[in-house]
Chain A
Amino acid sequence: DIQMTQSPSSLSAFVGDTVTITCRASQVIGSDLGWYQQKPGKAPKRLIYVASNLQRGVPSRFTGSGSGEEFTLTITSLQPEDFATYYCLQHYNYPRTFGQGTKVEVK
């Protein structure tokens, strides 16, 4: 099974900051990775598909990059509504696997 190692597990930031979250796969997965945002009590929402493509309706301050084994989600100019937990998910093969999550909190 592919292991997804996500870091950091949490971070604190100010509104307006730029934050970066990283996921590393235990093997090469091409670009078969998505990034999700989840707010308390809500279902996850996909922000980025195939590593670097912005889901329709998602603000352009969210950027995904990477391929192979290492991937990054960058949020520029953090907004109040961006404080949430973020997960990566590999869809290279089954079983699909999520990263452990990164909680983005207000500093």
Chain B
Amino acid sequence: VQLVESGGSVVQTGRSLRLSCAASGFTFSIYGMHWVRQAPGKGLEWVAFISDDGTREFYSDSVKGRFTVSRDNSEDTMYLDMNDLSPEDTAVYYCSLSEPLYFDYWGQGTLLAVSS
């Protein structure tokens, strides 16, 4: 299993950005996927989940209405579209494949820095 995040950058407050998570080594289309973030020097914060077929999405209160998770099962890729970014969104963003009863895999993370 390999999860590779990309798209992290330095952006200004109020701008938008898309993160990607490229998956390989497993059947991507049959598993839900998560985004988790970690601000510098802070703890882990769960951000979003998308079901295997993309029909169900859940978000943390802190990003609801600004972030949208999506996936392309033909490309084995998950996305996180982030709008109206603020400095509080500065973090390393991880994608994760986590089945409570079985396995748990994480990518290496991609860094988003939002400047004011």
B44 A87 Cβ-Cβ under 8 A? yes
State which size class the interface on A falls in: 20 to 34
Residues of A within 8 A of B49 (CB): 94, 96
Q: Which label, helix, strand, loop or mixed, suits the secondary structure of the A interface?
A: loop
Cα(A50)–Cα(B59), bound, Å: 22
A95 B100 Cβ-Cβ under 8 A? no
Cα(A46)–Cα(B44), bound, Å: 13
Chain B interface (Cβ < 8 Å from any Cβ of A): 34, 36, 43-46, 49, 58-61, 94, 98, 100-102, 104, 106-109
Contacting B at CB under 8 A, from A83-105, are 85, 87, 89, 91, 94-101
Q: Which label, helix, strand, loop or mixed, suits the secondary structure of the B interface?
A: strand
B43 A100 Cβ-Cβ under 8 A? yes
A-B pairs with beta carbons under 8 A, tally = 52
**A38, A94, A95: which contacts B44 (Cβ < 8 A)?**
A38
**A44, A87, A89, A95: which contacts B58 (Cβ < 8 A)?**
A95
Cα(A91)–Cα(B32), bound, Å: 13
Residues of B within 8 A of A99 (CB): 43
B43 A50 Cβ-Cβ under 8 A? no
Given A87-B44, A98-B45: A34 touches B100 (CB 8 Å cut-off):
yes
Cα(A34)–Cα(B104), bound, Å: 10
Cα(A44)–Cα(B43), bound, Å: 11
Residues of A within 8 A of B59 (CB): 95
Given A49-B100, A50-B100: A94 touches B58 (CB 8 Å cut-off):
yes
